[in-house]
Amino acid sequence: MPEGHSVRRLARQFDDVFGGETLAVSSPQGRFAAGAALLDGHTMIESQAHGKHLFLHFDHALVLHVHLGLYGAWDFGGDAAFRGASSIGAPRKVGERETFDDGTAAAYAGPPAPVGAVRVRLVGRHGWADLRGATTCAAITGAEASAVLARLGPDPLRNLPPDRERFVTGVRSRKTPIAALLMDQKVIAGVGNVYRAEVLFRQRIAPLLPGSSLPRDAAELLWDDTAAVMGDGVRDGRIITTPASYWGEGAALPAGDEARYVYKRQGLPCRVCAVPVGLAELGGRKLYWCPGCQQ
């Protein structure tokens, strides 16, 4: 499932390539036909990300609300002008992972015929975006979008002044294991399985520790570190939680396995203490941790 940094990059991309444009909105698959008709021919004025939720705001006060879920992804295509000016560059697919174009652009003659179950297609002057497989795809009102946001916890990538304290209070008021709390989008929005495993290791926090047992200063540092590594993810377009000292000599970025401390490294020696990385199931999701470092 895409984590919060990918959705934030996605929002930037939509602002860059569709912001201020009147869009043709359709549902080639047909499942979103009624919603597409409400948005078709209107101007997208703003894209907003909060946690794993994306909100595309249109000029007639309706909003396209998308949550990619486990299998959703956006595909993009267009001409040389269809390239984001922000750090996202020009992704051709954003889902669990991002793929990028090769820096060249063929003459644009409009979007291609839809391939597969395209829930919604957005088409502007210079390019198109197709959504497949999303858990949520709905045309909603601004009030309904506000209600969705009200149910979510603070987003570390927004990191507004009250957010840190709200997270700390939310965590320390519950006896639920901290590893489960980090996956609860009402407690903190945008963290998924990779960031959960990695920030708990970086802070040397035992994953089954009850939230109420986490000292205040440790909860504050956990928030700060999560905000920092997720911000790095927005910049880099991938999750990197290890420092350069763990990468190949002279590497500007890590190879796949070098980018993380514990996630999907079960049975391998911990990079710090050499104890084998553990694997368990918690709340139906795989949990990775180091039994030596995280006691």
Contact 290, 272 (CB under 8 A): yes
Instruction: Centre a 10 Å sphere on the Cβ of residue 19 and count the other Cβ atoms it contains.
Output: 15
* Cβ contacts of 271-279, under 8 Å, gap ≥ 24: 271/242, 271/246
144 is catalytic: no
Place of tokens 């949990």: 287
2 is catalytic: yes
Contact 288, 278 (CB under 8 A): yes
**Measured between alpha carbons, how far is 3 from 237 in angstroms, rounded to an integer?**
11
Token output for 281: 């199931």
The Cβ-side half-sphere exposure at 175, using a 13 Å CA radius, reads 0
- Indicate which residue of 12, 52, 132, 172 is catalytic: 52
**Measured between alpha carbons, how far is 182 from 179 in angstroms, rounded to an integer?**
5
Token output for 183: 């996956």
- Indicate which residue of 3, 28, 111, 196 is catalytic: 3
Non-local (6+) Cβ contacts of 198 within 8 A are 229, 239, 241, 260, 261, 262, 263
SS3 273: coil
Residues labelled catalytic: 2-3, 52, 285
